[in-house]
Each structure stands twice: as structure tokens, then as C-alpha cells.
Amino acid sequence: MRSLRILSSILVLSLLLIYTLSTRADESNIPAANWRENYAYSLGIQAYIFAFPWSYNSELRWQWTTQSIDPANIPYAPQNQFWHARTLTGSDYRNGGTPNNDTLYSVAWLNLKKEPLILSVPDVGNRYYVMQMASMDSDNFAYVGSRTTGPDAGNYLITGPGWQGKTPEGVKRLPPSRTDVAMILGRTLVDGAADQINVQKLQDQYRLTPLSAWGRSTLQVVNQEEAWKPFDRKSDPLNEWRTINRALTENPPEARNASLVSQFADIGIGPGQNIDAMDDATLRGLSRAALEGRKLVQEAAASGFGRTFKNGWAITPENFGRLGLHNQWLTRAALQSMTGIAANDIEEASYIGARKDADNQPLDGRNRNYTLHFAPDDKPDVKAFWSMGIYDMTFNFSPNAINRFSIGDRTEGLKKDADGGLTIYLQADDPGEAKRSNWLPIPRDRFFTVFRAYVPGIAIQRGRWAPPPLRPVL
């Protein structure tokens, strides 16, 4: 019996050995490229989400500083110089981006590698304005404006990372940019078309001066280094990684992200990396990751990822404007960068959007009208102003009979209800004389709306308040 048990044990061990060897033989037939391609794809998706602002901003910087496409509507000025919008945005502008209809924009791409710049602003009186400053990662680093520095004239030093030097007398040093490349998104409030000329005069006094030229009686315009052209991602998905690597090399992420970024080096992504040195399987995975990564970011943006919902309105997160500083990579890529290029801090402005009505149905002007009713004790709590704009599905304003693209607390002739409340009528057709003052035209198609609260109160900042639901009127 004992011999039989020994023989059985030997037989079992032999079978296990045969199975193990055959399994290994099968595994040896699996191409090694498979795991490398899948690894590059899976890690590449994470790298793409993290690095998206560097790709997107590289394209915008090159377009806005070197390509004169439509200078009246699309920013165009060399680096370290301002471009100013001279008229409020209307339906003739068709380049998307969900623009506001309340302020004139002032935009500048900054290159701080050689030296700092001094931003000079005039006394704006009681007019609201803001100069929002964001680094290459799309996260804000400094503010100048009514809320932060007040209405008085002033001069402000803008520096890159690690700059050490003396700040001139009469100049206030701002927190530094995290990257040498940065941008200014300025907005100056306009009270109607007739007020545009007054804002234009203020815009002419917004100046950027190189530190080395500060204090000179005459300032010669120095030819700025031209922004480099990103690689064409449409001709080759790998080109987006080439753009990302160059942008990350010139504008490295924060040192605190070193452990994360070092992982991406396994697939040739990051500062100083070169994807063209990678094997074919890795390149196949990276090609997939670039295409699927952009699609993922787009779908996350469309779904409202990162937002909370109240009364059918999508509310931006508390860290909006500095999401990357809180490691919220996908929300930064989708909601902050792709959707807004850069977003104001929640203390500066809150953007609350709606695509559906109180019945959870898509907003559509083909067969429905809508009302928005504020109760007397439920008005928006803002220290600057609020407005509500209507957009078609291309992220632009739609033409309408009265050329009204937004409505808000500064709208001339806006009428309160008998009880002190406020009702806004959203419809394609003229509602008649009695309601026309409170009419916000909508397109005869799908649309969405954005409610903007500038310098909002705490309840709006914390997401505890949202506009009332949009009620359909059949």
C-alpha cells in the first residue's frame, strides 16, 4: 500500500510538472509586445490626463501669439503684450468657448524665463475688473483686480519660478508663477454698448513692462522670442506626446509631483523624455492613449464630471481655478482646462450651468418656453454682479431679434414682480410688451445656459445656493 501511495504521489507531481511546462510554453508564444503596448496605453491615459493643460495651452499660445485669424474676436498679440477685445461678444463671434457678454477681455501670454514683467493698471473707480493669472498647468497663481488689490492704480511684479531679485520701489511683488510660461485673462465690466469706449480707454492703460526697462522715460518694444509651433496631432497621434514632452521640459510640473511624473518616464513621457527612443509596442500604446485620452477628457467635460447638482444646475467645485494644486487631475483637464482654458477662483466668480429643465428634460427652444423665478428672499448674493447667458450647442451665442445674449442685475429696464421677486422669460418668440423687459431669447433648438456670479457670497462659493429650476411652459 505504501508503494502505491508513493507511486501516486510521483504521478501527481509529474502531471503538475507537465502542466507547468506546457503553460510556460504557451506563455512563450505570447508576443512580448502585447504587455508593453497595454502598459503604455494604461499608463499613457494617466499621463495624458495629467499633462493635458500643457498640450492645450501650447496650441493656444502658438495660435494667439503668431496667427492672425480674426484679431477683432480671437486674441492675437506677441508674447508679453496685451490683446484687447474692443466690443462685447455677440452672435457674430463663432469660435466657441462660452464667452461672457458682460466684460471686455484683455489677454496676454507671458514668457518669464528671461526676466519678470511689471503689470500696470489705472484707477478704475467703482468699475469691476480682474486680471487673472494662470501658469502653464492652467492653475491660477495670482490676481490683480477689484476684489484682491482694489480700484486704485498700481504696478505689480510678475515673476517666474525661483526668480530672486529686487522689487522696484512702488511695485508690489505677486506670488510667482509655477512655470516660465503663463497667461493673463483680464476682464473689465461694461455697462452697455455705449460704455464700451470708456472701457477701451482703461484697456489702453493696461501695460506690461520688462523689469529691465522699468523706469525708463522711453520704452522701446523689444522683439520677443516667438512661441514654438506644436506638433500636428491630427496627422499623427504621437505628435501630441512630442508637444507634451517639449512643453513639460520647458515648463516642468511642481516638484511635489515628481513621484507621479517619474512613472511616466517608463513610457517616454515627461521632462527630458523622448518617445522616439521607445519600442514599437510602446508607441502603439501611446498612439491609442492620445486618441482615447482626448476622447475621455471631452466626455468627462460633457458629462459634468467634478460638479455637484442642485435644482438641475451644475455647480463648479470649491477648488475650481486651482484644481491641480489639489491633485484633481481629470477635473482640471476636463472642466478647468478644456472647458475654460483657465477658470477663476471660486472667490472671484462662480459658473453654474444648466442643460436640463425642472423635469430633467434637455433644454430645447423648438417646442418649449421656460421661466426662471427668484423669490424675493432668494436673490443671488454677489458683491460685483450676476448674469445669465444662453448658448447654442457650439458654445456660441445665437442671433435673436433684440440682440440680447444675457440678462442680469444690470440689465436696463428689468422689472420686479409685484411681491419683489424676479421672473425671467426664456423663449424664442417675443413674449409681448408686458414681459419683454425680462425676456432672454433662446434658439429654436437645443441650448444650455450659464449663470455667472462675480465675487459671490459664501453660500454660492460653498455650493449651498443655486438658481431656481428652469420651469417649462408648454
Residue that has been written with the C-alpha cell 522689487 in this structure: 167
| Count of alpha carbons within 13 angstroms of residue 457, beta-carbon side | 9
Report d(CA 70, CA 152) in Å as an integer: 33
Q: Show pLDDT as tens, one digit a residue, over the chain (474 residues).
A: 444 444 344 333 343 443 444 444 444 455 555 899 999 999 999 999 999 999 999 999 999 999 999 999 899 999 999 999 999 999 988 878 789 999 999 999 999 999 999 999 999 999 999 999 999 999 999 999 999 999 999 999 999 999 999 999 999 999 999 999 999 999 999 998 899 999 999 999 999 999 999 998 665 555 567 999 999 999 999 999 999 999 999 999 999 999 999 999 999 999 999 999 999 999 999 999 999 999 999 999 988 899 999 999 999 998 999 999 999 999 999 999 998 899 999 999 999 999 999 999 999 999 899 999 999 999 999 999 999 999 999 889 999 999 999 999 999 999 999 999 999 999 999 999 999 999 999 999 999 999 999 999 999 999 999 999 999 997
What pTM, to 2 d.p., does this model score? 0.89
Neighbours of 98 (CB within 10 A): 16
pLDDT at residue 322, as a whole number: 97
- pLDDT tens digits, one per residue of 63-78: 999 999 999 989 999 9
- Is beta strand 154-158 parallel, antiparallel or unpaired with respect to 117-121? antiparallel
- pLDDT tens digits, one per residue of 182-233: 999 999 999 988 999 999 999 999 999 999 999 986 655 555 679 999 999 9
DSSP 8-class letter at 193: G
Q: What does the block give as the cell for 96?
A: 466657441
